[in-house]
Every structure is written in structure tokens, then in C-alpha cells.
Structure 1
Amino acid sequence: MLKLDVVILAAGLGTRMKSSEPKVLHKIFDKPIIDYVIECAGKLNPENIFVVINPSMNRVVEHLKNYNVKIVFQDEPKGTAHAILCSMPYLMSDNVLVVNGDTPLITPETLLKFIDIFQNNEVDLAILSFYPERDHSYGRILRDNKGNIKKIIENTDMTSDSQSIKEANSGIYIMNAKILELVKNIKKNLKKGEFYLTDIVEISVEKGCAAQAYPIAKEDELIGINTRYELFLATKHLRDKVVKQLMESGVTFYDIETVWVSPSVKIDKDTVIYPNVFLEGDTIIGQNCIIYQSVRVKNSIIEDNVQIKDCTVVEKAHINSGSTVGPFAHIRPETVIGKGCRIGNFVELKKSTIGDSTKAAHLSYIGDAEIGSNVNIGAGTITCNYDGKKKNKTIIEDDVFVGSDSQFVAPVKVGKGAYIAAGSTVVDDVPSDALAISRTPQKNIEGWAKKRRKQK
């Protein structure tokens, strides 16, 4: 494998994004743009990865601490060639791969193929090129009548003659030490007042260096993100790619145009995904599941034969096999639902463990609780877990029946097999097999309603 450094150009301020957030920190699904590029570069096993940024990008500096990369500051926005000059004092390899920080869809497979071609053809400078089918503003590859590259023509410098050129520049280069020295010869573009790295091609050819462009990239890999619309296009393309791969592995999607599935999500065969579903983060979904419409699942594990019904949110939770959740349920972080459970409509679970075959079918809040197996949670049940200073735990052991409209003022424990009468407020522990009942005596005042109506 060729030894090389990778330089990621990410100093653009992204003014067209109309945002206070640096462009490269805008997210595709749940990951910033720059992360895709860094992770792709890391799969090439380079000697070093350098990220060139503007010194004002404090949030980018903080974010890059998550990666083993070296930061290079480009003090002034003087163009791509100037960015390379800023990184040159720190480079440690004779060969450098230059990529853009705003092209998150470029794949390691394409870059590895590009590196192999560079190495096998023994050229000094290689340009990754492609043939776009959509309208674009990429520079064009100008070749001589023998097919050798002569120069790159920027879109702003196009003439009527060059408009017919189809081959486009991706902005990705590999260059050796000889070419890096020639970067110093690039002159400022008079129209833009910047130093364009694209000029290195013409300079290299004039100096007799071996330069060539290789049209091996796909257009969709090279979507550059400068606007919110381009961010959407990149996200959509990645979604389509992920969904297609999942369908090929045995997952059914009813409407691929309305689902959004992060690349980090894993789904097993014979699972069915309805429209308007969002699956994000490190979510794992097992076999034979049904995810109904308008569900959002993030960073959660859903085991085999689970049904998540309409309009349910699941975050950082674990749902064991055979359970049904929803519709309109909210499963909050650190919740574990056992096997064969039924968590119904308008039920909210937070930081709770639910035992196997337990049911909470309607309109309940269970927070900071340990619920055993085969428990019935009646409609309107609430664990009163917060005392104004701290969260307290409710423990309900196996085989407990909880009547509707019950409240548990934590900390409290209900023993195995106990019954809680409907409408009770439980403030003390309940022994196993006991009946807990907490109600004021009912009083009927005869004729009261009739008298009230006469007063009106």
C-alpha cells in the first residue's frame, strides 16, 4: 500500500448555508459532514490525516478532538492552493491525497482504486474525474488529441468551446513531493483573488511532470455541500443507498421515498418498515418485526418479532422479542422492555425495567421503576418518582395487578402477587399477596343535582 498523508480541505466558511453553525458540522442523519470524510480517509490507512480549517472555527476544533487528526489553520481564505501551502510544513509523506471536507459521500473503495492507479501508472499527479449527468459547476478536464490532460478549466472561466467538454474535475488529487513544490508557483486568480489548486495541472504539464486524470468516480459520490439543498441531496442519496442495501438483504419497505434510515442502522430479514419512519444512530432491529408508520427509533435495540405501532418514539431503549409497543407511546432512554410485553397507547416509560409478559395498555407514566413479570398496569397509572429534589424508585414485583388510576409515591415497593385497588394512592410498601386500597369513603347526597338545576 502506498504511504501517503491525507489533507482534507475544510476551511470554507459556508456562507451559503445561512447558518451560525460551521458548514462541515451540519449533519447528514446524525453525523456531521466532516466525520464522513475523516472516517473514509481513515480506512485508507494513511500516515497522517490533516484537516485545514479557518482559525475562527472553534467549534470545529473542539469537534475534531474526537478524531486522530492534525489541525492546520488557514489564516486567510486565499483558496485551495493556499490551503495546501499552509499544510506543507507539517506533511510527513512524499505522497499526498487531497480531498474536500464537504464531499461526505466519497467512498473508500473509489479512493483505494484511485490510489492504486496512481501507484501503478507511476505518475506525479493524478486527478480523480467523472462524467456528470446533472447540471453542475465543476471544472472541466481539457485533454490534447492524444488524450493527455492539459489543464483544468474552472466553471467561471468556461468559453463556448469548452462548454462541450463532459469530463469534470472532482477536486480530489494525489501528488508527489515534486508536484507539492510546484504548488508554490501557482499565481493568484485575478477574478477571485484566490490561489486555485486546479492550476497545478497546467504548471505540472509545462514542467514535464507526468500528470493524468482518471474518470473512475461516480457523480453521486461527489456531491459537494454548499447549500441546504445540496445537504438534502446528499442525505437523500445516502438514504437511497442504505435502503436499497437493506431491501437486497431481505427487508421490506412500503415507501422508500418517505423513510429515513441512517447508515449505522442494522435491520434483519423479513422485517417490514411502513412509511414516514425515522431510524437513527446505532439502532439494531431483528427479524420479523413490523415498524408502523410515523415511528422514530434512535440508538435502540429491537429484538425479533416486535411490533412498534404508529406514532411511537423509542430512544436508547431495549425491547425484547415478541413485545408490542404503541401506538403513541414514548419509550425514553435506559428503558428495557421484556419479552412478550404489551405497552399500549399514550404510555410513557423512562429509565425503567419491564419484566416479561407485563402489560401497560393505556395512558400511564412509568419512570425510574422496576416492574416484574406478568404485571398488569391499569389505565392512568403513574409512578410519582420526583420529590422536588431527586428521583426515587418504584419496585413492583411479579404477578401484581394494578388497578386503573393508581399512583405510586416513590420510593415504594409492592410485593409479589399483590393487588392495588383502582383509584389508590400508594405511599407505603405493600406486602406480597396483599390488597392495597386507598380511597375516601363515597358519599351520596340525595336530590343535590335536582336542587342545583332549579337554582339556575
Structure 2
Amino acid sequence: MKAILLTAGEGTRIRPLSASRPKPMLPVADRPLAAHTADAAIDAGADEIVLVVGYEGETVREYFGEEYRGVPVSYAVQEAQTGTADAVDAAREHIDGPFAVLNGDNLYDPAAIDRLFDACPAVCAAEVSDPRNYGVLSTTDGTVTDIVEKPDEPPTNLANAGAYAFPADAREWLEVPASERGEREITDVLTRVIERYAVTPVTLDRWLDVGRPWELLAANEWKVGELERRIDGAVSDAAHLEGRVVVEAGATVEPGVVIEGPVLLRSGATVGPNASVRGATVIGEGVSIGNGVEVKNSVLSRGVSVNHLSAVADSILGRNVNFGAGTTVANRRHDDADVSFTVKGERLSTGRRTFGVVAGDGAKTGINTSLTPGLKLATGTTTAPGETVDRDR
């Protein structure tokens, strides 16, 4: 079965991290988000991966190439972002039999994707406490009977998880009309399949739709937590590593460093001396962590520098961010309420008691900068030495 992965979207809700690369290519543990989806499809038996690209599509092509894990890779271009059915329709010429459709910005329980492929036609569902913000599936005797988008009164708690295995006939049903939102929806294609076939609901044990920065942090917490301990890099005898810690070849851990897993230290990174790293943290390729720095439960992308005596917690730093010495990230409100974050101009609760800063590529802080909880620093932002920043920039 061919697996069509949707990776064309810009990811405006996760800005500034997507300012120069598509959301499905943001880092989750040791690979891009979309690679986890591709891996699940290949493990389930996909014999070809078709990637639908659009925004910054060359980034996707550079990573996956013409073959990924021994499986051929093809590409289709979605010229305009006009819906998920339109995205799959862009790959029509690659469809010559039953096919799967997976969102490149979702993490799926791999075992469920395996069951999805076997049960074709099928759709993945997740039990959620409040399904009103999802497409909601109705079932009878183990078969899907209906799907309704974002109902005020959901008929069930089964949310559509955006993973489908379609029969070959569905290729001819991709040209659905635009919905009230002005988009061509893949759920309208699913409705046609439901009318003609017995569609199996496949319940996911775990699923994460990564749309906003704190969900990217949660994705890393999931996948870093699954890593097995491996020490291939250079670790000082005077360093202490505890639990699930991965030090890739070419990484360096200096004397006095304490690392409490799960932590991933990627090739070319340097930590210490006397630094502390803990709590589902990714230290990306070529990252430099200086003397006495503390990093907790954060993602530091390629080329980041966090200079001596700084503290970073529950944060995501884009590529080549440079935190001057003594930079401190606050991650908790004084009233202990959930931290909020601005998404497309609206202040939203992250649902997290602790959440720090999201810094776009190339952001820089002056020495002794203080950053307040739930702060956004746009690409290339700078701060002055000794400054306290309590508003997005």
C-alpha cells in the first residue's frame, strides 16, 4: 500500500518556529516530526511514501530524498493550501490501488497504523474528553456510520485522528466541493467511502496533533522518553549520566556535568563544564552549552549557544539562537495558573503549569536577560544586556 503524507502546510500556529521550514520538519527527538509518521507507515508495510509538499518543500525533499529506509519516495506539489482533499488530489497520479493518508504533523501510535493498513478501508480514532473541536465518528457494530465536523453536541467521544486507509475507488472521489470553510475536506471523501464500504474504526492508544509550540514540546517528551540509553560520544569521567541518556558520536560532555535522562545529545554538541541537563531534553547538532548552565525539559535546535550561567526550562529554541551569559528563562507564574502563549494574535492557555520561551531562528539575548513565562521571540530578535522581557517580540 502507498502512504501519502501531507507535509505542505506552513504551520502558522507554531510560528516563529515555522518561519523558515514547514512544521512537519521541526525536530522531534532525533528526526523531524514527519519522519516519525513515515517510519510508522513503513513499519506497517507501506511500499512507497508519497510526500505532498508546498511551503518550503525543498526542506522535505532534502531530508527524505528518493529513498527512505529502503522504500521509494515520490513527491507531489500542492500549489495552494485549499484543504486536505486537495492535498491528496495533488498526489492522484501516484495512486494505483488502495492507499493510506497520514498527516505529517501528527504522532500516531505505530501499532494502530499497522492495524489501519490491515483493516482497509479504515480510519483512526482517538477517545477524547471534549470532541467538539474535532471531526466526530459514529459507529455501529464495529463499523463507522457517520462523521460530523466539530458538532456542538457530539454523538460520541471518538475524534477523527486524521489517518485513513482508503480503497482504490476513493481516487475518483477526491474532487469534492469546498466546505463552508472554503476548503476541500478529506472527511467528505471519507463520507463517500462510508456510504459504499464497511469502514473500520481503529482506536489509537496514543495520538498527538502537533499544531502549537507546547504540543511540539509534548511530542518531544513522548519520543525522547522512548529512547534507549546509548553512549557513543566523548564523556568525561568526571561527568554523571543517569537514566535514559543518548550521547551520539561526535558529542562531548565535559567534567562536572550532570545529565538526568531522558536526554538526547546529538552529534557535534558540547555540554559543560559543570552544566545540568534533565527532563526530556533534546540538545541538537552543534549546540554549545556553557559552564554552569541549567537546561530542563527543552528542545535546543541545531547551532544553538547557551552561554555560561544561563538557565533554560520548558522552552523551544530555534536554530542558531544565542543566549548571552546569565540569560534566565522563567517558566512558572507566581499564581501557579497555567501559562498562556500567543497564537495568531490570540492569547491561549497552554494547559501547562510550566512553559518558558519559544525563540525563532537566530534570536539573541544580551547578557543577564530575563525572559518571562509564555514569551515569544520572533526570528532574529535581539535583547539588550540586563533587560527583562515580558512582552512578545
TM-score, structure 2 length as denominator?
0.57
1:131–1:167 Cα contact (<8 Å) kept: yes
2:131–2:158 Cα contact (<8 Å) kept: no
> Among residues 183, 206, 214, which one is paired with 2:174 in the alignment?
183
SS at match of 2:209: coil
Offset at residue 96 of structure 1 (A) = 0.3
Is the alpha carbon distance of 1:315 and 1:236 closer, same or farther for their aligned partners in structure 2, counting shifts above 3 Å? closer
Offset at residue 33 of structure 1 (A) = 0.9
Tell me if 1:130 matches 2:131. no
AA of the residue aligned to 1:129: A
Instruction: Tell me which residue corresponds to 1:385.
Output: none
Identity %: 21
Is the alpha carbon distance of 1:38 and 1:201 closer, same or farther for their aligned partners in structure 2, counting shifts above 3 Å? closer
Counterparts of 1:205 and 1:179, CA distance in 2: 11
Counterparts of 2:139 and 2:230, CA distance in 1: 45
Offset at residue 176 of structure 1 (A) = 1.4
2:228–2:245 Cα contact (<8 Å) kept: no
Instruction: Tell me which residue corresponds to 1:292.
Output: 258
Offset at residue 133 of structure 1 (A) = 4.0
1:8–1:52 Cα contact (<8 Å) kept: yes
1:265–1:283 Cα contact (<8 Å) kept: no
Q: Kindly indicate whether structure 1 or structure 2 has the higher relative contact order, using CA contacts under 8 Å at least 6 residues apart.
A: 2
Tell me if 1:143 matches 2:139. yes
Counterparts of 1:189 and 1:181, CA distance in 2: 18
SS at match of 1:211: coil
Offset at residue 147 of structure 1 (A) = 5.8
Is the alpha carbon distance of 1:97 and 1:281 closer, same or farther for their aligned partners in structure 2, counting shifts above 3 Å? farther
Task: Map 1:44-443 onto structure 2 (within 5 A).
Answer: 44-54=44-54, 56-65=56-65, 67=68, 68-92=72-96, 94-103=97-106, 105-118=107-120, 125-133=121-129, 137-143=133-139, 148-155=143-150, 158-160=151-153, 163-184=154-175, 186-190=176-180, 192-206=181-195, 209-218=196-205, 220=206, 222-240=207-225, 242=226, 263=227, 265-266=229-230, 273-274=241-242, 279=246, 281=248, 292-293=258-259, 298-299=265-266, 310-311=274-275
Counterparts of 1:214 and 1:297, CA distance in 2: 35
Gaps of 5+ in 1: 119-124, 243-262, 285-289, 301-307, 317-326, 330-345, 347-456
Offset at residue 166 of structure 1 (A) = 0.8
Counterparts of 1:107 and 1:44, CA distance in 2: 11
Q: CA RMSD in A?
A: 4.0
SS at match of 2:45: coil
1:311–1:328 Cα contact (<8 Å) kept: yes
Tell me if 1:12 matches 2:14. no
Gaps of 5+ in 2: 233-239, 278-282, 286-290, 294-307, 309-393
Offset at residue 203 of structure 1 (A) = 2.0
Offset at residue 216 of structure 1 (A) = 2.7
SS at match of 2:75: strand
1:201–1:211 Cα contact (<8 Å) kept: no
Counterparts of 2:86 and 2:157, CA distance in 1: 28
Spell out, residue by residue over 1:230-278, the C-alpha distance to the aligned partner (whole angstroms, 9 max, x if none): 10111122234x2xxxxxxxxxxxxxxxxxxxx364379xxx8559x96
2:112–2:202 Cα contact (<8 Å) kept: no
Counterparts of 1:291 and 1:154, CA distance in 2: 51
Instruction: Tell me which residue corresponds to 1:319.
Output: none
Offset at residue 164 of structure 1 (A) = 4.5
Is the alpha carbon distance of 1:57 and 1:115 closer, same or farther for their aligned partners in structure 2, counting shifts above 3 Å? closer
Is the alpha carbon distance of 1:38 and 1:328 closer, same or farther for their aligned partners in structure 2, counting shifts above 3 Å? same
Counterparts of 1:46 and 1:14, CA distance in 2: 26
2:10–2:55 Cα contact (<8 Å) kept: no
AA of the residue aligned to 1:128: C
SS at match of 1:49: strand
Is the alpha carbon distance of 1:164 and 1:62 closer, same or farther for their aligned partners in structure 2, counting shifts above 3 Å? same
1:140–1:168 Cα contact (<8 Å) kept: yes
Aligned pair count reads 266
Counterparts of 2:142 and 2:59, CA distance in 1: 45
SS at match of 2:193: helix
Spell out, residue by residue over 1:71-124, the C-alpha distance to the aligned partner (whole angstroms, 9 max, x if none): 1101111111111111111224x1101111011x32432222222233xxxxxx
Spell out, residue by residue over 1:307-359, the C-alpha distance to the aligned partner (whole angstroms, 9 max, x if none): x995289999xxxxxxxxxx979xxxxxxxxxxxxxxxx9xxxxxxxxxxxxx
Counterparts of 1:234 and 1:23, CA distance in 2: 13
Instruction: Tell me which residue corresponds to 1:26.
Output: 26
2:6–2:87 Cα contact (<8 Å) kept: yes
TM-score, structure 1 length as denominator?
0.50
Counterparts of 2:100 and 2:91, CA distance in 1: 12
Identify, as 1 or 2, the structure richer in strand. 2
1:293–1:309 Cα contact (<8 Å) kept: no
